Amino acid sequence: MIRILTIGDVVGEHTTTRLSECLWNLRSKLKIDTVIANGENASSGNGLSPKDAKTLLMGGVDVITSGNHIWKKNDLREMLDESDVLLRPANYPSANPGKGYTITDVTGYRLLTVSLLGTVYMEPLSCPFETLEKILDREHGSYDISVVDFHAEATSEKMALAYEFDGRVNAVVGTHTHVQTADEKLLPGGTAFITDLGMCGPDGGILGVRKDEVIRKLRTRLPVRFAPAEGDIYLCGAIITLDGTRTVSIERIREKI
């Protein structure tokens, strides 16, 4: 059996440090073979710094996916070009730094991980459906199993992509909303799906941010500099289990770290 831990948006530098301190032990406890984590909010003030990206990778994350905040830290762009396991969404223009997918080894199997960004209520990027279609065609025969992190706002767009590629990828996991959904399931063709993994971050705020700042922003409509919330840190995500190249289960996880 192969067990893949997928982690929702990591929020804040403190969470990044805490996750890196406990992830290897958690991997051992849960018998995890590889970890995919969305890191686009892992640094202070949104975005991802090279330092925090390295902390996640050294701390037990094997592949970092991302989303619309990946360009917040200009100094990350060189690392995006150089790293094979730090991804920006594949449907950004091809001239942008970095790559949108990677193939890594997991216990002798070739794992294709794809990072995609939704376009409903978000940026007008290339169609995520067409982008994924092209990647699967281009890499046909180069991978054994596949996981897609679909960073999107609309639940319908996430579900539509999962159904469109049901049986062609092993899993489609949604990220972006920071709220874990309770709809994990295997689709008819065998693809594991969950609308949103949730977040890895402090539980005492709103989406990982201090409550008072979010409320002030909504009441005044004025710019507010968000700071990470306080409180216990929870890892939210899902464990995808495969028997060889066949997906057999998806299990939601929410664990205090």
| pLDDT tens, residue by residue, 198-207 | 999 999 899 9
Average pLDDT over residues 65-76: 96
Looking at domain 2-256, which CATH architecture does it have?
4-Layer Sandwich (3.60)
CA proximity to 68, closest of 20, 142, 9, 113:
9
Residues with active-site annotation: 69
Q: Is the pLDDT reported for residue 224 higher than 90? A: no
Burial of 150 per CB tally in 10 Å (0-12, 13-18, 19+): buried
Amino acid at position 65, single letter? T
The per-residue pLDDT for 30 is 97
Mean pLDDT of the chain: 96
Query: Contact, 21 vs 59, CB < 8 A?
Result: yes
Sheet holding 171-175, edge to edge: 101-106, 109-117, 145-151, 171-175, 192-194, 185-186
With a CB cutoff of 8 Å and minimum separation 6, the contacts of 29 are: none
pLDDT digits (tens, 9 = 90+) for 168-182: 999 999 999 999 999
CA proximity to 107, closest of 144, 135, 142, 136:
144
**Per-residue b or e along 67-93, where b marks 16 or more CB atoms closer than 10 Å to that residue's CB:** bbbbbebeebbebbeebebbbbbbbbe
At 180, list the tokens. 């874990």
